[in-house]
Structure 1
Amino acid sequence: MDTIEALKWRYAAKKFDDNKIVPQSILQRIIEGFNLTPTSYGLQPLKLVVISNKDLKDELFRHSFNQQQVKTASHLLVICREERINQAFIEDNFELIKSIRETPDEILSPFREFLINDFDKKTDDEISKWAKNQAYLALGNVLTICALERVDASPMEGFLPHKYDEVLDLKSKNLKSVLVCAIGYRSNDDEFASFKKVRRPLSETIIEIK
């Protein structure tokens, strides 16, 4: 499907057909799209928890302000950030670069030291906000790929992160939940599917400087 047409097709589904499951091949493309998201400094401080277990979705439903999407979705995607983005995390990233690109350490060293010093000066709150911004970049990729694959998606901020962290035992994985995206196939009785898309005209949202 043409990308623009796909984005016109998509909407934030409010109710999914819980009898329809996203095929593994399509789910894999969505996951890979998440992983290919560009992130600041290329540090990729995110992980994705993919949930299909019905009992677990039902439990998380109670911590999502009872939004039906969580229960009826084929899969629930929980975008998480690394809890500790420190020297060890940065050094691991540069080791990955070296192993894949075979870049000499003398070339990587100046940038690596800059990042280590820069993040050492940041407060925990500043690092948290920085990491959360990266999560939104990933969510955008996920939504676009879902639209291209004709998979409905409902991005959500309306959930209790600390309860999700507890239920999913994220602390043991050094993670914190940031965003949720329910994916699946729209229910025939989701009235929102027939609503016209509301967007301001391009003349009001685009400023061209030539």
Structure 2
Amino acid sequence: MSTYVDNLNWRYATKRFDESKKISKKDLDTLKEAVRLSASSYGMQPYEIFVIESPEIKEELRTAAYNQPQLTEASHVVVFAAKADVTAEDVTEYMENVGETRGIPTEQLEGFSNMINGAIVSRAKEEKAIWAEKQCYIALGNLLSAAANMKIDACPMEGFDATGFDKILGLEEKGLHAAVIATIGYRSTEDQTQEYVKVRKSTEKLFTTL
């Protein structure tokens, strides 16, 4: 049986997908749960995630992704959309979730709420948007790792017109902005990239133990 590290060596940024192969609902649900459980700053998850399977919408998104074939060939396109602004109302909603989930009166969470409001909400809107986008990348990492462990191919992508994605998916009116995307599915035998040897820094060059 393959180990986790073996599966990370197996994965690569898939350039061409087999259009005839689709991710099963069961596997897709597992990937969603893996992403849902991702870490985020304060646990707030200041983003929403759109899983696109509609051929028509994928075709539209492809035009906003410089006609890259992954957008239509992959089984699904995953769009991580960050909050354009993080407000006190978002913190209140999160506190209500914490209280309900852990059985704690929200009054007891006032200190936690004040800390987040002081550390995040008080920042300039642009700073908050950058902070929210960073959280999307943590969730993206979970998606890539989980997919590799399930032998599902994925390609993280920043090469797209975010404003175009926002328009196609109606994100702006939801207070969201497309931060990063990933296409997921199964590699095509025609994708020569899968034969490339993975290139990474050596352990000695990458890590310093103090």
Q: TM over 0.5, yes or no?
A: yes
Shift of the alpha carbon at 1:106?
4.2
Partner of 2:126: 125
Partner of 1:116: 117
Q: Distance between the aligned counterparts of 2:30 and 2:155, measured in 1?
A: 17
Partner of 1:163: 164
Partner of 1:91: 92
Shift of the alpha carbon at 1:95?
0.5
Per the alignment, in what secondary structure is the counterpart of residue 84 of structure 1? Answer: coil
Identity %, equivalent residues: 32
Q: Distance between the aligned counterparts of 1:119 and 1:14, measured in 2?
A: 37
User: Which residues in structure 2 correspond to 1:1-210 (within 5 Å)?
Assistant: 1-209=2-210
Per the alignment, in what secondary structure is the counterpart of residue 201 of structure 2? Answer: coil
Q: Distance between the aligned counterparts of 1:82 and 1:58, measured in 2?
A: 25
Provide TM-score, normalisation by structure 1.
0.96
Q: Deviations over 1:63-114 (max 9, x none)?
A: 1011111110100000011223100000000001111101233431111112
Q: Deviations over 1:97-135 (max 9, x none)?
A: 111101233431111112223334201111011111101
CA contact (8 A) 2:16 2:69 kept: yes
Q: Which stretch of the first structure deviates more once superposed, 9-18 or 197-206?
A: 197-206
Q: Distance between the aligned counterparts of 2:121 and 2:158, measured in 1?
A: 29
Q: Quick one: which amino acid aligns to residue 130 of structure 2?
A: K
Q: Distance between the aligned counterparts of 1:164 and 1:120, measured in 2?
A: 26
Provide TM-score, normalisation by structure 2.
0.96
Q: Quick one: which amino acid aligns to residue 202 of structure 1?
A: T
Q: Quick one: which amino acid aligns to residue 191 of structure 1?
A: Q
Q: Distance between the aligned counterparts of 1:121 and 1:136, measured in 2?
A: 23
Q: Quick one: which amino acid aligns to residue 208 of structure 1?
A: T
RMSD, matched Cα = 1.1
Q: Deviations over 1:25-78 (max 9, x none)?
A: 111111111111110011111111000111111111111011111110100000
The structure 1 segments of at least 4 consecutive aligned residues displaced by more than 6 Å after TM superposition are none
